[in-house]
């Protein structure tokens, strides 16, 4: 078995493992969100049911037992109420947050056809080679060297910064564009959006601040119940977020290697992407601005992590630059060996 096939099998196994982790964690996150929303609905329902039953009792002369039934069945009520509340409380806000960030990225610069026509021509040619519709390409006026691909095969958008354009040679820039085109061809951005949803839901479930101490004076029992629920949700969602981050990072590293390979095949020059990665890696430094949660998570869309420390450890979103270069050099050796064998034949 040659090295290229071993790399592809290794990539496939890593991606399957990541998806398995994310599938299990997604179910647990959904169950936690349902219970959290359902318990809130149960607490809100108790005074309503009590008031209704109190108003109706004088006319019936007896007890319906509805309040007691709701009071003694918190789990059942929480599940029944939490399922329809799940998309309203969590999924829709998370979806809107992702869409807003994608729109923010897409509107971050001017169309490349207007400001950098040669870059637009390179993108068009690479898209034709990859057999996908030409993506919209924008150049954002930012000094930090970054590149993103959002959307899918049919409605993709590529964003590069002026810092990236000025840092790379023409061939190196084409290699980066080929990397982003490969992401679009593979549907990576859509996959990333899907796998980020459970992590963002977990963050929303556990994002509430602890209860105010003023509640302790007014309702001691209510305060203790609130503190207990807050502490439980904080601990549970913290573990869930770590599991999601691990699965996302594992999946992202695999997709980056696949996009590197796709870029090498599109340009026919793995060495050019190696040169681009080395140049960009030398320019990376820790960002000073405070990013929102989704913006931090979206660093998985950039060609390199936001800072050097993000490429180490089990939660890194990208393979180390050294690993990526080693894979590309393997592809280069395969090309050389293939050319020699063809010449010998």
Please determine, for residue 298, whether its predicted confidence score (pLDDT) is greater than 60.
Answer: no
SS3 category, 279: helix
174 within 8 A of 207, measured Cβ to Cβ: no
What is the model's pLDDT at position 344? 52
Residues of the chain with pLDDT > 90, as a percent, come to 19
User: Of 308 and 255, which is predicted with more confidence?
Assistant: 255
Strand ranges (E), the chain: 109-111, 136-140, 147-150, 157-161
134 vs 345, more confident? 134
Supply the pLDDT for residue 292.
Answer: 42
Domain contains 132: yes
> Taking all residues of the chain, what is their mean pLDDT, rounded to a whole number?
79
What phi and psi, each to the nearest 5 degrees, are found at residue 107? Answer: -100, 10
In this structure, is residue 62 part of a structural domain? no
Let me know if residue 128 belongs to a domain.
yes
Look at residue 24 and tell me if it is in a domain: no
Residue 262 belongs to what domain range?
3-19+92-344
Cα 28 to Cα 22: distance, rounded to the nearest angstrom: 10
Q: Is the pLDDT of residue 53 over 80?
A: no
Domain for residue 49, yes or no?
Answer: no
Phi/psi-derived region of residue 313, left when phi > 0, alpha when psi is between -120 and 50, beta in every other case: left
Domains of the chain: total: 1
Q: What is the pLDDT of residues 166-190, one digit of tens each?
A: 999 999 999 999 999 999 998 887 7
| pLDDT confidence bin for 137, thresholds 50/70/90 | very high
Comparison of pLDDT for 115 and 211, the residue scoring more: 115
Going from the C-alpha of 112 to that of each of 106, 148, 182, 200, 277, the distances in angstroms are: 12, 14, 19, 32, 22
pLDDT at residue 283 is higher than 70 = yes
For this structure, is 289 an active site residue?
no
Within-domain flag for 87: no
Question: CA-CA distances (angstroms) from residue 149 to 56, 90, 116, 260?
Answer: 60, 26, 18, 14
Better-predicted residue by pLDDT, 134 or 304: 134
HSE, CB side, 13 Å, CA atoms: give it for residue 44. 9
Q: Residue 286 contacts by C-beta under 8 Å, 6 or more apart in sequence?
A: 306, 307, 308, 309
**Which residue in the list 146, 180, 203, 256 is annotated as catalytic?**
180
pLDDT (0 to 100) of residue 252: 83
Asked whether 321 and 311 are in contact (CB, 8 A), the reply is yes
- Terminal CA-to-CA distance of the chain, rounded, Å? 21
Concatenate the DSSP letters of all residues of 6-66 into one string. HHHHHHHHHHHHHHHHHHHHHHHHHHHHHHHHHHHHHHHHHHHHHHHHHHHHHHHSS---H
Q: How many CB atoms lie within 10 A of CB 344?
A: 6
Highest mean pLDDT among 7-11, 101-105, 150-154, 295-299: 150-154
pLDDT tens, position by position, 75-108: 888 899 899 988 888 888 888 877 777 676 656 6
In angstroms, the CA 126 to CA 146 distance is 19
The whole-number pLDDT of residue 289 equals 44
> 177 or 145: whose pLDDT is higher?
177
pLDDT at residue 304 is higher than 70: no
Q: Are 191 and 255 in contact (CB under 8 A)?
A: yes
- For residue 317, give the nearest of 227, 248, 265 by alpha carbon: 248
Residue 115: inside a domain: yes
Comparing 3-12, 28-37, 67-76, the range with the smallest average pLDDT is: 3-12
Asked if residue 13 belongs to a domain, the reply is yes
- pLDDT above 70 for 193: yes
Residue 206 has pLDDT above 50, yes or no: yes
Average pLDDT over residues 260-272: 91
Q: What's the rounded mean pLDDT across residues 234-261?
A: 86
Residue 180's pLDDT is what? Answer: 93
- Distances in Å between the Cα of 164 and the Cα atoms of 35, 195, 276, 282 are 46, 28, 10, 12
């Amino acid at each position: 078995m040659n090295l290229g096939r071993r790399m592809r099998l290794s990539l496939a196994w890593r991606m399957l493992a990541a998806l398995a982790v994310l599938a299990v964690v997604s179910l647990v996150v959904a169950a936690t969100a349902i219970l959290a929303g359902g318990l809130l609905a149960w607490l809100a329902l108790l005074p309503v049911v009590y008031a209704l039953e109190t108003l109706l009792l004088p006319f019936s002369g007896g007890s319906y037992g509805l309040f007691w039934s709701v009071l003694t069945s918190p789990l059942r009520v929480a599940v029944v109420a939490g399922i329809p509340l799940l998309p309203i409380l969590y999924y829709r806000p998370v979806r809107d947050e992702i869409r807003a960030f994608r729109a923010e990225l897409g509107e971050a610069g001017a169309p490349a056809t207007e400001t950098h026509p040669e870059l637009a021509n390179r993108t068009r040619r690479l898209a034709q080679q990859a057999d996908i519709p030409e993506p919209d390409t924008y150049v954002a006026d930012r000094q930090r060297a970054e590149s993103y691909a959002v959307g899918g095969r049919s409605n993709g958008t590529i964003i590069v910064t002026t810092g990236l354009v000025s840092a790379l040679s023409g061939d190196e820039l084409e290699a980066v564009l080929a990397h982003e085109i490969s992401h679009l061809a593979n549907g990576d951005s859509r996959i990333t959006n899907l796998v980020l949803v459970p992590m963002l839901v977990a963050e929303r479930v556990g994002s509430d601040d602890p209860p105010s101490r003023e509640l302790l004076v007014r309702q001691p029992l209510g305060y203790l119940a609130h503190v207990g629920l807050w502490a439980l949700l904080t601990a549970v969602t913290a573990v869930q977020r770590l599991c999601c981050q691990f699965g996302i990072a594992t999946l992202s590293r695999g997709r980056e290697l696949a996009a590197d390979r796709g870029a090498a095949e599109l340009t026919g020059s793995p060495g050019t992407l190696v040169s681009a990665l080395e140049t960009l890696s030398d320019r990376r430094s820790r960002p000073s601005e405070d990013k929102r949660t989704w913006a931090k998570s979206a660093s998985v869309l950039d060609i390199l992590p936001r800072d050097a420390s993000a490429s180490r450890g089990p939660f890194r979103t990208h393979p180390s630059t050294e690993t990526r270069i080693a894979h590309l050099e393997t592809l280069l050796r395969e090309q050389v060996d293939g050319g020699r064998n063809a010449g010998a034949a």
